[in-house]
Amino acid sequence: MPLIPKVEMKQAKKIVSARLDEETHSMLQRYALFLGEATHDYIISESLKRLFKRDREFKEWLDKNNSGFSAELDTETQEGRTVKHTEKVT
């Protein structure tokens, strides 16, 4: 049974660029085939979500360091324009 679900949910996306070594890229392609032609974006996103949920030390760090964190977010309008705003995470 796959560790991540085969169904892709539609959500707002952010662009992240990453360089992978050849072996990791090959395994990513093979995992996409295993899941039935899942996108690389989906596999990477679901893998990171799983990592964030399971990493106890990271959760502890978040609890200690998350208050007052501000994130600059991009919001795309219906006209295709991007608007920047800051969201305070508490």
Q: What is the pTM of this model?
A: 0.62
Residues 6+ apart with CB under 8 A from 58: 52
As a whole number of angstroms, the distance between CA 83 and CA 40 comes to: 27
Neighbours of 88 (CB within 10 A): 9
Mean pLDDT taken over the chain: 79
| pLDDT value at 90 more than 80 | no
Tell me: the pLDDT tens digits for 59-84? 999 999 976 665 554 555 555 555 55
Beta bridge partners of 69: 89
pLDDT grade for 19, boundaries at 50, 70 and 90 = very high
As a whole number of angstroms, the distance between CA 44 and CA 52 comes to: 12
What 3-state class would DSSP assign to 41? helix
Tell me: the pLDDT tens digits for 6-15? 666 677 888 8
Q: Kindly list the domain boundaries of the chain, sorted by start residue.
A: 22-89
As a whole number of angstroms, the distance between CA 63 and CA 57 comes to: 10
